Amino acid sequence: MAANSSSTTSKSGNSSGGKQSAPPAEQVVAMFQRMRQEQRSLASKAAELEMESNEHSLVIDTLKDVDPSRKCFRLIGGVLVERTVKEVLPALQTNKEQIAKIIESLNSMMREKGRELTEYRERYNIRLVGEGESEGVNQSQSTASSKDSEGGGSKSGAGVLVS
């Protein structure tokens, strides 16, 4: 009899474990928001580095036509140092190339994060506010979601709504 009760317990444990394998809507929304924030921060950093690369290009274009023995000043780690154009120009070109490589790696990371976001959205049937509002169900979910940003997820099996 004891063996039967333990097997019954393990079966009920498995069935409740199966229900727990799908995270609650709040966790799904939190994870989705975190992934979106990571993608935004990557995009922000890439834009910042793109601006820095443009500044390097401007300085390089300006210094190309200048006498190589002419004095110029460069800010290194908050300290203004005196150099010559022939010393600074190659360093600027090297920095610009390194920045371009970093931008490319950030762009590939953003593409990968975008793929992960898409897979996550499809896996948990996540709908963003404003997406498919012509359907009556989504309208009621988006209204509830806009009132309570933490409860932005649907408890039903229809998916999760994210504002």
Q: Do the bridges between strand 71-76 and strand 126-128 make them parallel or antiparallel, or are there none, so unpaired?
A: unpaired
Instruction: Give the model's confidence band at 162: pLDDT under 50 very low, under 70 low, under 90 confident, else very high.
Output: confident
pLDDT at 100: 98
How many H helices and E strands in the chain? Answer: 4, 4
Mean pLDDT of the chain: 79
Q: Which tens digit of pLDDT belongs to each residue from 24-81?
A: 989 999 999 999 999 999 999 999 999 999 999 999 999 999 999 999 999 999 999 9
Indicate the domain borders of the chain: 24-124, 125-163
Query: Is 22:154 a contact under the CB 8 Å cutoff?
Result: no
**Which fold, 24-124?**
Helix Hairpins (1.10.287)
Instruction: Give the model's confidence band at 131: pLDDT under 50 very low, under 70 low, under 90 confident, else very high.
Output: confident
162 three-state secondary structure: strand
Q: Give, as one character, the DSSP assignment of residue 156.
A: S
Pick from 10, 155, 56: which is nearest to 145 by CA? Answer: 155
pLDDT at 14: 45
Tokens in use for 120? 């996550």
80 three-state secondary structure: strand
pLDDT at 23: 85
CA 150 to chain centre: 20
Pick from 146, 127, 125, 149: which is nearest to 138 by CA? Answer: 127
C-alpha span between 155 and 22 (Å, rounded): 12
